Structure 1
Amino acid sequence: MSKQLNSFELACNHVLSAVKRLNLNPAVYEILRNPERVLTAAIPVKMDDGSLKVFTGYRVQHCSVLGPFKGGIRFHPDVDMDEVKALALWMTMKCAVLGLPYGGAKGGVTCDPREMSLDELERLSRGYIKAMYPLLGREKDIPAPDVYTNARVMTWMMDEFSGIKGYNEFGVITGKPPVVGGSLGREEATARGCVIAVREAAAALGISLNGATAAVQGYGNVGSIAARLLHEMGCRIIAVSDSSGGIYNPRGLDPVAVLQFKKNTGTVKGYPGSRPINNEELLALNCDILIPAALENQITEQNARNIKARIIGEGANGPTTPGADRILNEKKVFVIPDILANAGGVTVSYFEWVQNNTGYYWSEEEVNRRLEEKMVAAFKEVYQMYKARKDLNMRDCAYLVAVRRLSEAMWLRGWLGKGAEYQDKREAVLA
């Protein structure tokens, strides 16, 4: 991630713009730019060689006006407080856009899980829960997986929390395997939601997915599943990449075979029948659909003018900088923003939480049907605003939808005071 760009300040700027465009009380922005709670913790972990290493862990609880906090935990060398604050704010926006009864949160640990054994990762995961335990609970804050964490990590965390409580508390963590309270369809949810949004965008723009070309940056859980689902819809996947490099074949790649190759070798590089391609080349490919599913700030002012894709579905959080956004807008590239495009994960996490709380579990078909309903409804709400507000792009409109919903809840709950100034403006909130 580019450290020149403060992701939290960039996210705050989007919120400020939305508050001004909606003519809301400035207190809305002040609430949203200041997380409700921030915790930094030292997490001591005994390493396999007998040494002790102390990791830094973070949890940011951003805004609970819509409900309990919800947000993933990432293990990554670049994790810092500003990044976690930005991710928590984006989660608040994401939940508001989808109409979920959650507030945003995010967690992280500064570490490189690729250099750690499974035993070390388990001790780190359990140590994180011990450190964050006072903040967590199924009615308080419900974590989930994120970059370099997965269902196994979530199970360790749920088990640690349950051990402290003295009884099973499946609902405190989502993204678990189904056998321990996870939801069917959760593993594919972020990618499936992104592909549904891309499908809706293609239909709105008159682009047929049958025969459309697509490139995917990032071939982890989100990118690999998005590639497979697009392929199943008739798209030709011409390039994919991971942290080690990329591959390209204009005739198309088999996304399932590429994933198996990566599982066998640890990278997509060297996949038979492809040629190497670097990150900048992948982003600049002549294709219909581009899915950035890696990390933040990948599409910048330096490379945005080279992008030829017609639709960008942001599978990652914050992959496009504001300068790049302006360029893409000028080029008429249709960007489906992260707070809409990758909200499928938190949506099915919500379904998992509901199932844990009721003790009744749905079929995968039911989960996917409900996800489809939520994603289509959210896309249509944002797209309708986009069509009505010719001066704004889809990201602007997604923030308008989210901030309007948040401000309505703030006003109704009395968070904004009872001053006459806001009373005069409340129709702008409730419109």
Structure 2
Amino acid sequence: MSAAPLLSVTWSDHVTGRRGYLVVDRLVRGVASGGLRMREGCTLDEVAGLARGMSMKEALHYDPSGRYVPLGGAKGGIDCDPRSPEAYGVLVRYLRAMRPHIERCWTTGEDLGLTQDLVDRAATEAGLVSSIQAVYPLLDDEAQARRRLAAAFEVDVEGIGLDELVGGCGVAESVLVALHRAGRPHAGTRVSVQGFGTMGGATARFLSRAGLMVVAVADVKGTIANPDGLDVEALLAARDPYGAVDRSVLRPGGAERQGDTELPCDAWLAVDAEVLVPAAVSYAIDDEAVERIRARWIVEAANMPVLPAAEELLAARGVTVLPDVVVNSATNAWWWWTLFGDIGADADGAFAHIRAAMRALVGRMLDRAEADGTTPRAAAHALVEERLPEIAERYGWY
């Protein structure tokens, strides 16, 4: 997976000078899958790493008996603050510039800094049929598949769209598998989450409902913490579109419990918790952060949040890092399971399918790591290297 990508594009916005990138790491049946992120400081190297990760996620979910046929991996990125007044115009012009690729080989959707609604609106303005139209020729019944996916995006689960919950369901299931294998009960297990947008918020909801205690949540304003546990549902209801929580909902202390407190942004790393869930930006945990971490597990809901040097130090301390290519892969897989017809447009079916798939995948990864004496990330990469030739033999390398 270290070979150069098939395609790397750098774009400059003629209006603002902002840069955008597209990297297609690999094609399967002429198509690659991967979201589009927008953040200040996004780089080509970052997008290339994300595209490589998408190739791995697709390969890991390969099921020869399923209708969903894994695609190749790709990623897009725009170097712009999504809160900037100029951000939407930059997004539209980027999609217009990338239109030939989106029409033919790159299926994309929301990622860090962007919502699917926003991507869909901008794609329409850019003259696209859909941000995933490149996959339509691979469908047995395009009209029925598109109706099924559209219906799934209309499903609301207690105030949150199904599409915003599926990724967090997969992350939470990864945590639960790790705890089960370690013989650790859910009750009393404390979790700290960095990022409270789509992925972080959904992960917090599922873990809280599984009996774990979310003791810290970090957003752009800082870290909200409570050693007695936060009211996850109240925080979710008080989020803005970027995952920032309205502090007016924080609870004061009382005779029987401590109140919610506000701490610096990076305090989520050092809270007393068994599980850390980085669910925001890449490169969040470097080697300097390692000494502050007290957790037993780090579960990568974000893409590439733990730097390699930090992971080596953490492994030496007995801290297990569950890698992004497995942990956060359910969002992408849910799109294709739904579109290809492996599941229908309902929440119960989606969550059941995700949980079963993630239990199996995380289990295989941890079994392989134990057998090989390696880290979960190395084990995941080994599984990818075994599956890629299988996919290539069936569908070709491009």
TM bracket, shorter-chain basis: 0.7 to 0.9
Distance in 2 (alpha carbons) for counterparts of 1:415 and 1:368: 32
Partners of 2:60 and 2:383 within 8 A in 1:
yes
The letter of the residue matching 2:359 is V
Displacement, 1:106? 0.4
Distance in 1 (alpha carbons) for counterparts of 2:305 and 2:150: 33
Q: Percent identity?
A: 27
Structure 1 residue aligned with 2:387: 405
Structure 1 residue aligned with 2:378: 396
Structure 2 residue aligned with 1:428: none
Question: Which of 122, 139, 142 does residue 107 from structure 2 map onto?
Answer: 142
Displacement, 1:67? 6.2
Structure 1 residue aligned with 2:77: 108
Q: Deviations over 1:7-60 (max 9, x none)?
A: xxxxxxxx4xxxxxxxxxxxxxxxx4211011222334xxxxxxx434322111
Structure 2 residue aligned with 1:152: 117
Distance in 2 (alpha carbons) for counterparts of 1:178 and 1:206: 39
Structure 2 residue aligned with 1:58: 21
Partners of 1:91 and 1:103 within 8 A in 2:
yes
Cα 1:62–1:212 shift into 2, 3 Å:
same
Partners of 2:31 and 2:135 within 8 A in 1:
no
Displacement, 1:155? 1.6
Structure 1 residue aligned with 2:329: 343
> Is it true that 1:208 corresponds to 2:185 in the alignment?
yes
> Is it true that 1:254 corresponds to 2:231 in the alignment?
yes
- Specify every segment of 5 or more residues in structure 1 that has no aligned partner in the other structure, as ranges: 1-14, 16-31, 45-51, 417-431
| TM-score of the pair, normalised by structure 2 | 0.83
Distance in 2 (alpha carbons) for counterparts of 1:219 and 1:274: 16
Distance in 1 (alpha carbons) for counterparts of 2:102 and 2:338: 17
Displacement, 1:171? 4.3
Secondary structure at the counterpart of residue 316 of structure 1: coil
Distance in 1 (alpha carbons) for counterparts of 2:280 and 2:396: 39
Distance in 2 (alpha carbons) for counterparts of 1:94 and 1:78: 25
Structure 1 residue aligned with 2:256: none
Q: Deviations over 1:175-197 (max 9, x none)?
A: x9989465443211211110011
1:119-268 alignment runs, 5 A limit: 120-137=86-103, 140-160=105-125, 163=127, 171-172=133-134, 180=150, 183=153, 184=155, 185-263=162-240, 266-267=244-245
1:275-354 alignment runs, 5 A limit: 275-354=261-340
Displacement, 1:201? 0.9
Structure 2 residue aligned with 1:23: none
Displacement, 1:110? 1.3
Secondary structure at the counterpart of residue 272 of structure 2: coil
Task: Report how many residues are paired.
Answer: 367
Distance in 2 (alpha carbons) for counterparts of 1:87 and 1:153: 21
Structure 1 residue aligned with 2:358: 375
| TM-score of the pair, normalised by structure 1 | 0.77
Partners of 1:247 and 1:274 within 8 A in 2:
yes
Distance in 2 (alpha carbons) for counterparts of 1:160 and 1:181: 22
The letter of the residue matching 1:140 is C
| Structure number with higher helix proportion | 1
Displacement, 1:373? 2.4
The letter of the residue matching 1:42 is S
> Is it true that 1:385 corresponds to 2:355 in the alignment?
no
- Specify every segment of 5 or more residues in structure 2 that has no aligned partner in the other structure, as ranges: 63-68, 137-145, 156-161, 252-258
The letter of the residue matching 1:384 is D
Distance in 2 (alpha carbons) for counterparts of 1:268 and 1:327: 36
Q: Once structures 1 and 2 are overlaid, which stretch shifts more, 273-282 or 102-111?
A: 273-282
Displacement, 1:300? 1.8
Displacement, 1:396? 0.8
